[in-house]
Structure 1
């Protein structure tokens, strides 16, 4: 999720960042990474600054393009971005609503959270090599690559015949989905002043306000009509069509900049094998494989141990834990002593503001996925809501945070600071919302209290997501924007994978045990099918002893999840506390025509 921005109407002139030097009272450390670049002046005349010759090719290309952008093309690009986010948000909402039914169709409902572990991990980790791709080759190239992954994932989900194929499809889908939204975020960072960037992110994410009302009914229509497969297939066709106009704008303005001689000429003079070696070093392929395999092997046992007859003593579980741990150690040692180019830029990561923002991103996603993974099923089983109503409540977070992000963006633009918003408002309100759910997310509790908690989390979480993104961007210059946002996203996705793992471990450890304890004697023979399938759970009428037993087991599992999600928020408070109080109002990062 991203956050706030002022709407751009075709008749409005984009707000332009004036040339203001950093305040005299700012410390050198606060300003150490802010580039002294220039932008379009208030009357629309472009500065004479040349493209940064010391930057990588992708950064040079986008700086050249922003110098050739017309105001109408810039506005058209943002309008196109809005529609891309609209389709992607609708697609993501529909996919989330369909997932429990896909896993249940293969009698593997308990793997609902597990299917997202690998996709969350790889989707986030891949943003680091993607940052290299868009910095070395260019933003459009990265965008096209991620679009292809997204479409492949949707096609695989539409054609899947087992939960394993669906899980693999989720990897392609989330790598592509996260990659598309990430490259667009970088484009927004390339074309907006730092003080207005939070508002631009809010504008881009504003389609969630509309799509929350569409995803549930759309998923219901597909399930009751042509089936869940068409729910994926339709978007595999629509998404490339919607993305085409932005690709055309990229291509047109790149050619325009090239003809104007703004793009430096480059000749590598490398042979094929030299190029392979060069890019393997640039993308740190060895480091990428080590951390991906290590995290996957270490986290997956928490999701599959309950399916082993020997549970934690099963050889496959023990091997995964040991080898995963060893690979993570090997990754750290390789990056420290052997890597020609490090996978994670330590000089940036060790900045306390960047590191604090990354830890906050990871922690928020850990907490979120712990309490969210089985929430959709809970609403249907315990509160007896349909898919549409459940999706509305599930998406309270999305709609609330997107509305609130405009307020946060305006506050950042007005005050020029973001730390106070996160520390004194975002973290406390988030803790309040998650903590209250420990009491209210139980059987026989009015659904209104659950919605109230979701609103608290939406307002607090929406504030923190924007502030963490502003923190990593304010702590560096334009050259490293893509990298720091990728590192922040990697922490978030790894956090999501950890959160899903913890949720699955709690679920598989608590829910079947409580189910066996609460089920009446006549239903004990159906325990396995009840545990494995959401439709089977819903097949028992509300008010019957079996349905009440299922609801009670849900309540006990949810309570443990929510306690864990609340306690871990203490880390969020510490992560924000260490930020520097950077004033973004006076910082200048980007060149050319910007908003």
Structure 2
């Protein structure tokens, strides 16, 4: 009897309305049916049998993509825009806590100080940067295998565990472990939110949506410290306890929205949950090991850790780039990357990328991200020190100068989004406007001097604004391109690979910058110092801007310091400009796509 009743309910939900007078129970059921936003027709049921029908989910894609398609097929425009607004709020709150956490960590470090704490923090901060990058790969697979909401909730949990540990920690080791959870969770959540944006936007609107969703960073950079001052007036722990309470309220409803509309899709018959597999627990473990490619993930993670760890340790001054501790991990990492390629070709059941996904245009996107990050870190690594020692700015204005690139790139990204929205093209904007302006801005900074007064600082700030605005075009353009040039099933993996190229490029850029600084500044300083003061060259070099600023402007020693900075900055900007010029052929091989195609099914922004 129960089975007959369930079949009758299903028939009522999917059948074409009859012209005869409906029964009272049918009217009541249909009333409930319309209240949850359901307006099912027989065409949807027929479309379910046809994978090419725009009203049915695609049958031969991953479960995560099927769920995302089903959600978009049952919600309306208001729901799509409301979801985007909530993603914006999530981005804002995640961005707001970044400067708050940065300041609170200073108090926490002092509170948790003990004789081995500095070394512990240094080691774990290096690993945090590496893990925050490499764990995006299993996150990308999780989004496809389990679903968007499920993967999001997993890393919300990791993020909140990190915040709670930081709020409760009493020693440096526990603090570093908690901060590892925090950094990994935060990094992956940003990544997943970008995947959400690609799920709910049409390609012609995606650049503007991606750029606008990053706009909260325009204000959180400055509002974060003020909020932190209010929160930590009693104790630094409130910078974490407050957000341990706030963030679940902010993040979890987003997953709830997707789960609700997935339920609606199930009720309407648009999406059907997979039937029980019938596998034993042991078989399920083996199945998920194959699905997540456990062996391949271990090889790839080990390769990237061995690549990124020496690059990051060199940045922190832990090892030198010409030491065996630096060279050997890079060589082993290269070997493991080759081994991973062989595993993907001959051993993996579920390949990282669909066949033919790495087209020349995609390789061009990865190359541009890699080149752009090398160029950026070539000139930015010692930007803060140069602002104080060479351009004679105090700490607060120097910190503002450091934010010019980030703020300019957010504005430039939004301008690029509007341009793509109206023209439906993105390659010409990147190739003929964004990249040339970025090269021009870096080239103009080669001859900016720091000894001629405030006008020199004004020129430098103006050129950095130009570079930042142009960089927004390049960054958002590459993000848009990798989502347009591939099938929807490959988008999370492609975004991961793009960010991995950013990380590798940034690491190499830091090494290049350190090499330029070490090879130019000490020798130029030694040559410029008066004959009687050459013995202090090493102390000036090692002491940084704090020692260099102790000598008054206009003195012979300060003049020698300015000369050394001038030589370094010119070399750094020349190399950064030359490296960035290599990005022109990378963009030239992109496809000149006119964005009028429909990539996603259902109601989109």
Instruction: Name which of 181, 185, 191 aligns with 1:182.
Output: 191
Instruction: Report matched runs for 1:475-490 at 5 Å.
Output: 475-490=485-500
Match of 2:369 in 1: 361
Supply the RMSD in Å over aligned alpha carbons.
4.3
User: Which residue number in structure 1 is paired with residue 400 of structure 2?
Assistant: 392
Pick aligned residue for 2:249 from 233, 241, 246: 241
Q: Once the 2 structures are TM-superposed, how far is the Cα of residue 239 of structure 1 from its aligned partner?
A: 3.3
Which stretch has the larger CA shift, 542-551 or 62-71?
Answer: 542-551
Determine the C-alpha separation between the residues in 1 that align with 2:558 and 2:241. 35
With 118-127 and 252-261 compared, the bigger mean Cα shift is at 118-127
- Structure 1 residues 590 and 315, CA gap change in structure 2 (3 angstroms): closer
Aligned counterpart, 1:43: none
Match of 1:374 among 382, 385, 394: 382
Query: What per-residue deviation string (whole Å, max 9, x for no partner) do you get for residues 351-399 of structure 1?
Result: 1221111211222222223333332344345445455433432222333
Provide the C-alpha distance between the structure 2 equivalents of 1:486 and 1:372, rounded to a whole number of angstroms. Answer: 24
CA distance in 2, matches of 1:552, 1:103: 37
| Shift, 1:583, TM fit | 1.0
**Closer/same/farther in 2, CA of residues 188 and 120 from structure 1, 3 Å limit:** same
1:58 has 2:64 as partner: yes
Q: Label 1:98 to 1:281 Cα distance change in 2 as closer, same or farther (>3 A).
A: same
**Deviation, structure 1 residue 240:** 3.2
- In the other structure, the counterpart of 1:417 is 425
Q: TM-score, normalised by structure 1?
A: 0.77
Secondary structure in structure 2 of the residue aligned to 1:76: helix
Relative contact order higher in (CA < 8 Å, ≥ 6 apart) = 1
1:80 is aligned to 86
How far 1:480 sits from its partner (Å)? 2.5
**Cα distance change on mapping 1:344 and 1:261 into 2, 3 Å:** closer
Task: Identify the match of residue 432 of structure 1 among 420, 434, 440.
Answer: 440
State the structure with more CA Rg. 2
Deviation at 1:419, TM superposition (A): 0.9
2:215 to 206, 210, 227: 206
> Is the aligned partner of 1:563 residue 2:563?
no
Distance 2:211 2:129 in 1: 23
Indicate if the aligned counterparts of 1:370 and 1:500 stay in contact, CA closer than 8 A: yes
Render the CA deviation track for 1:466-494: whole Å, top value 9, x for unaligned: 22122222222333332322322222233
Partner of 1:295: 304
Could you tell me whether the CA contact under 8 Å between 2:389 and 2:549 is conserved in 1? no
1:580 equivalenced with 2:601 (yes/no)? no
Specify the SS of the correspondent of 2:582: helix
TM, length-normalised to structure 2: 0.76
Tell me how far apart the structure 1 counterparts of residues 80 and 510 of structure 2 sit (CA, whole Å): 39
More displaced, 351-360 or 224-233?
224-233
Given that 1:37 and 1:590 are in contact with CA atoms closer than 8 Å, whether structure 2 keeps it comes out as: no
Distance 1:496 1:57 in 2: 34
- 2:415 aligned with 1:407, yes or no? yes
Residue equivalent to 1:502: 512
1:199 CA displacement = 1.8
Give the equivalent residue in structure 1 for 2:472: 462
How many aligned residue pairs are there?
A: 544
Equivalent residue runs for 1:79-158 within 5 Å: 79-93=85-99, 119-153=128-162
The Cα of 1:102 is off from its aligned counterpart by 9.3
Gaps of 5+ in 1: 1-34, 39-48
CA distance in 2 between counterparts of 1:68 and 1:207 reads 30
Matches of 1:552 and 1:161 in 2, distance apart? 44
Judging changes above 3 Å, is the alpha-carbon distance between structure 1 residues 433 and 69 closer, same or farther for their aligned structure 2 residues?
same
Change (3 A) 1:502 1:100: farther
Q: Among 62, 68, 79, which residue is 2:74 paired with?
A: 68
Deviation at 1:320, TM superposition (A): 2.7
Tell me which residue corresponds to 1:285.
Answer: 294
- CA shift in 2, pair 1:478/1:353, >3 Å: same
Contact 1:119/1:175, CA 8 A, preserved across alignment: yes
Change (3 A) 1:579 1:564: same
Q: Which moved more, 1:501-510 or 1:110-119?
A: 110-119
Please give the alpha-carbon distance, in whole angstroms, between the structure 1 residues aligned to 2:520 and 2:237: 32
In the superposition, relative to structure 1, how do residues 332 and 118 fare at CA in structure 2: closer, same or farther (>3 Å)?
A: farther
Q: What residue in structure 1 maps to residue 463 of structure 2?
A: 453
Where structure 2 has 5 or more consecutive residues not aligned to the other structure, the ranges are 1-50
Change (3 A) 1:210 1:56: same
The 5 A counterparts of 1:531-570 are 531=544, 536-537=546-547, 540=550, 543=553, 555-570=566-581
What's 2:200 paired with?
191
Q: Specify the SS of the correspondent of 2:94.
A: helix
Taking the aligned partners of 2:427 and 2:119, their CA distance within structure 1 comes to: 39
295-304 or 140-149, which deviates more: 295-304
Superimposed CA distance per residue, residues 166-207 of structure 1 (whole angstroms, 9 cap, x where no aligned partner)? 887665444323321222222221111111111221221222
Distance 2:394 2:327 in 1: 40
Q: Deviations over 1:134-168 (max 9, x none)?
A: 11111112212233343455566775966x98887
Aligned to 2:349: 340
Cα contact 1:540–1:546 (8 A) shared by 2: no
